[in-house]
Amino acid sequence: MRVLVAGGDGFCGWPTALYLSSRGHDVSIADNLSRREWDRELGTNSLTEISEPGSRVARWKEVSGREIEAFVGDLTDERFVYETIERLRPEAVVQFAEQRSAPYSMIDRSHAVFTQVNNVVGTMNLMFAIGELVPDCHLIKLGTMGEYGTPNIDIEEGYLTVEYKGRTDTLPYPKQPGSFYHLSKVHDSHNIMFACRAWGLRATDLNQGVVYNVDTEETASDPVLRNRFDYDGIFGTALNRFCAQAASGSGITVYGGGGQTRGFIDIRDTVRCVELAANHPAERGEFRVFNQFTEQWSVLELAQLVERVARSLDLQTELAYLDNPRVEKEEHYYRAANTRLIDLGLKPHLLTEETVERLLVMALENRARIEPETFAPRVDWRKPDYR
């Protein structure tokens, strides 16, 4: 099918575009390249050296024989969105084009406002363009398990059946987001749900857990196709950051007591989940929710796993406990459902010591690019900069 991957230059978007292209889909990407600019703003960098967008697309055509058309533009620009949708007439749109870091959204007023405007307005422009130009198109939006928070009951997949005063209804699962970034995802969900109900759009919300690992088969096939490896305290996810810390001889930093438990997913399963959603589209008027994770880990369990594997490689590292800069429960109940993608055929890659070893070796190979000063948390949820 014809698929547009918005945010196709990013950590999830790039490997998804290559994977869908390799599976025979006609793939285009759209991106404003802001993620690269944020590295310059923050003084951070990808642990792996990533090529320029034009080089990436050209090399993919050389190695695969398949073309990915790239559009540079911003989804908050409605003209760009409408012109792109009109030209491509996609059958599916994968929405990755959002600012994805909770710490980035909590830096100060301007970063919080930017995150909300960029994420919510960009997605709304996509909704309106799809509704007007290609109303049968399937919108696949990357959500986050962070929308739910950490309730003291089981987390269902999007909806909860409630009995109250003798009456029963199935309602959207209550949301307790933990940052302005997570709040933007909640706003997306509500907006898309309304559009499905009012206009008959078809949409799938993939509430993804924390992504680990870096490469898929496609991105690992050529150095020019390499995916980014974020390890810093703002964009680096926990496992990738821990591996970079161990490789550089730094302490593995655990926020608080490390009891924070979340859903996790391998990047190879991320791209497969998108394919499964695309190949089994929602019905017209349906807003469905899949919890996109494969297993649950606490932060401390991850840190101990990395420490154990690092020591087997003769790397000397130890755990360091920091005051938690986030406002979150550190000990809590966490049990979430994740059966719908499994029912569609997902066969998960589970986190093993071999996976961690590969990440550590990758970090060691690129050790000269590690900047240890970027590990430290720089954003305090309790002390916002109001500028």
- pLDDT tens-place string over residues 316-351: 999 999 999 999 999 999 999 999 999 999 999 999
Q: Is the pLDDT of residue 162 over 80?
A: yes
Average pLDDT score over the chain = 97
Look at residue 386 in the predicted model and tell me its pLDDT: 77
Contact 342, 287 (CB under 8 A): no
Q: Give the global pTM.
A: 0.97
Q: Measured in whole angstroms, how far is the alpha carbon of residue 64 from the centre of its chain?
A: 26
pLDDT exceeds 90 at position 278: yes
pLDDT reported for residue 385 = 79
Q: Which residues of 22-34 are buried (b: 16+ CB within 10 A; e: fewer)?
A: beebbbbbbbbeb
pLDDT band at 73 (very low <50, low <70, confident <90, very high): very high
Alpha helices in the chain (DSSP H): 13-22, 34-42, 53-64, 78-88, 102-105, 109-116, 122-133, 180-199, 238-247, 267-279, 299-312, 340-344, 353-365
Domains in the chain, CATH or no CATH each:
2-374 (3.40.50.720)
Per-residue b/e over 241-250, b at no fewer than 16 CB within 10 Å?
bbbbbbbbeb
CB atoms within 10 A of CB 343: 10
From residue 266, give the alpha-carbon distance in Å to each of 178, 210, 271, 356: 23, 9, 9, 11
CA distance 114 to 190: 19
Work out the average pLDDT over 208-230.
97
Q: Which residues pair with 28 in a beta bridge?
A: 4, 69
Using the structure block, give the residue that is written with the tokens 């997605």.
123
Decide if pLDDT at 384 tops 90.
no
Q: State the Cα–Cα distance between residues 387 and 369, nearest whole angstrom.
A: 32
State the catalytic residues: 144, 181, 185
pLDDT digits (tens, 9 = 90+) for 91-128: 999 999 999 999 999 999 999 999 999 999 999 999 99
| Half-sphere exposure in the Cβ direction for 178 (13 Å, CA) | 20
pLDDT in tens, 125-158: 999 999 999 999 999 999 999 999 999 999 999 9
Q: What is the pLDDT of residue 67?
A: 98
**Predicted pLDDT at 176:** 97
Residue 344: which residues within 8 A CB-CB, separation 6 or more?
276, 277, 280
